[in-house]
Amino acid sequence: MERLHIVGQGIAGTALAWQCRQREVPFRIYDEPRASTASKVAAGLVTPIAGQRLTLTQGWSFLTEMESFYRNVSSLLGTTFYHRYETVRFLANDVEATRWQKRIGDPVFEEELLPGAPSLANEVFHTPAFGTFRMKRAGFLRVNAWLEASRGWFRKEGGYEEARIDIEECDPGVGTWVFANGPWMLGLSSFDWLPMRFAHGDILTLSIPDLADDRRILSSSAWLLPLGDGLWRAGSTYEAVGHPETLPSANGRASVDANVQKILRCPYDVVDHAAAVRPVTLTRFPTMGRHPGKPHLAWFGGFSSKGVLTAPTYARRFLDHLLDGEALPSEVAER
Ligand SMILES: Cc1cc2nc3c(=O)[nH]c(=O)nc-3n(C[C@H](O)[C@H](O)[C@H](O)COP(=O)(O)OP(=O)(O)OC[C@H]3O[C@@H](n4cnc5c(N)ncnc54)[C@H](O)[C@@H]3O)c2cc1C
């Protein structure tokens, strides 16, 4: 069977490698270590109703497959990586409140909701001026733990190498080289025509002693994810930039901080600040395919803010395409 050489061990490359193992496709995964990548800083959130438009998340129909995918990897590795957590959404303004009124009673949205209002202690939270709702099938992946444990397993099986792969030196005689290397894909001459862009994101870690026992995800203009022991991740910004290398930005930090202050009235400290660049496309759907002129090269990326939810399903469909000639899902831009 054709061997796959997967370049990049972020969420995309790791999901693809696990799907290879599931199909018993021989693979090897290569990763150039970097302190900060989108996968390393991501909060790993999966939220049914998101954004200012309050629509059902793109790719939400993948939820069942996603949960079973992470569960299967967890049973093999002996640790749980994906957790369902209730998510409380605070409507941020009149526009959102009006939009939400139109969703009430729609069975598509009702299915995702928990009944009743959230309990919000007065000394911790501002009184929500525009309303709230609660989502039940939300959750998050402990992305770094999943990446690290997967790396350990691939390494033990002889399928992992720490290396920077130069696209000009990929040997066509040894199988297909799949570039799942996030925003760095655009810097490669063979893929500089891909419809990908860069979106910088800042993310903070907060210490919030008054919220030490809360296990809900809080979401508004900012979101807050409990890590335990009073630590929370808070984020994130989304800003178009011109290159994949990035540093935490003072403006990004101030913006997340200001949005957190709209939810919380209790004191907190910022204990860490990280940033990375998301690989995004104009359609917000990922992009994948085999290179039209160099069939030993392929690409898989552009997961935007939905890598955790959508990478497992798209990885399976992409393998069906590469190995069996199945058509790619119509929404995926192949060119
Ligand atoms: C602040 C922030 C918050 C986010 N929050 C969420 C969230 O809550 N939920 C969610 O689903 N998504 C979230 N995302 C988006 C998510 O992180 C991305 O969808 C996902 O990480 C993209 O993964 P990737 O594998 O395509 O790319 P990357 O994570 O960029 O991984 C690419 C890998 O390829 C390696 N590489 C590059 N070039 C080479 C080479 N030549 N040879 C070998 N290796 C190479 C890199 O070192 C890197 O390890 C967030 C992103 C950011 C920035």
What percentage of residues in the chain have a pLDDT greater than 90? 94
pTM above 0.95, yes or no: yes
Distance 179 CA to ligand 1 centre (A): 13
Probe target for ligand 1 pocket from 30, 34, 184, 272, with the most ligand atoms within 8 Å of CB: 184
Distance 320 CA to ligand 1 centre (A): 23
pLDDT (0 to 100) of residue 325: 94
**Does residue 209 have a pLDDT over 70?**
yes
pLDDT (0 to 100) of residue 332: 87
* Tokens 């570039």, located at residue: 179
Q: What is the rounded CA–CA span in Å between residue 332 and residue 285? A: 6
Residue-averaged pLDDT of the chain: 95
pLDDT digits (tens, 9 = 90+) for 35-59: 999 999 999 999 999 999 999 999 9
Token pair for 324: 């069996």
Distance 293 CA to ligand 1 centre (A): 27
Q: How far is CA 8 from CA 161, 185, 191, 234, 280, in A?
A: 10, 10, 15, 26, 16
How large is the average pLDDT for residues 86-110?
96
pLDDT (0 to 100) of residue 216: 98
Pocket of ligand 1 (CB under 6 A): 7-13, 30-32, 34, 37-39, 41-45, 164-165, 180-184, 201, 203, 235-236, 276, 278-279, 301, 303-309
Phi, psi of 28 (to 5 degrees): -140, 135
* Tokens 């810097």, located at residue: 187
Q: What is the rounded CA–CA span in Å between residue 175 and residue 164? A: 18
Q: What secondary structure letter does DSSP report for 190?
A: G
| Contact criterion met (CB below 8 Å) for 30 and 165 | yes
Which protein residue has the closest C-alpha to ligand 1 atom 38? 181
pLDDT digits (tens, 9 = 90+) for 128-174: 999 999 999 999 999 999 999 999 999 999 999 999 999 999 999 99
Domains of the chain and CATH, by start: 4-324 (3.30.9.10)
pLDDT digits (tens, 9 = 90+) for 257-312: 999 999 999 999 999 999 999 999 988 899 999 999 999 999 999 999 999 999 99
Nearest to 301 by CA among 272, 333, 268: 333
**Does residue 334 have a pLDDT over 70?**
no
pLDDT digits (tens, 9 = 90+) for 226-252: 999 999 999 999 999 999 988 999 999
Which protein residue has the closest C-alpha to ligand 1 atom 3? 42
The closest-lying atom of ligand 1 relative to the alpha carbon of residue 188 is 41
Round to the nearest angstrom and report the end-to-end CA distance of the chain: 26
Nearest to 43 by CA among 256, 283, 301: 256
What percentage of residues in the chain have a pLDDT greater than 70? 99
- Antiparallel, parallel or unpaired: β 55-56 and 82-84: unpaired
Q: What is the rounded CA–CA span in Å between residue 302 and residue 171? A: 25
Q: What secondary structure letter does DSSP report for 75?
A: H
pLDDT (0 to 100) of residue 333: 56
More confident residue, 70 or 283: 70
The closest-lying atom of ligand 1 relative to the alpha carbon of residue 34 is 47
Distance 51 CA to ligand 1 centre (A): 21
Torsion of the alpha carbons at 50, 9, 324 and 307, rounded to the nearest 10: 0
pLDDT digits (tens, 9 = 90+) for 248-257: 999 999 999 9
Residue 242: which residues within 8 A CB-CB, separation 6 or more? 198
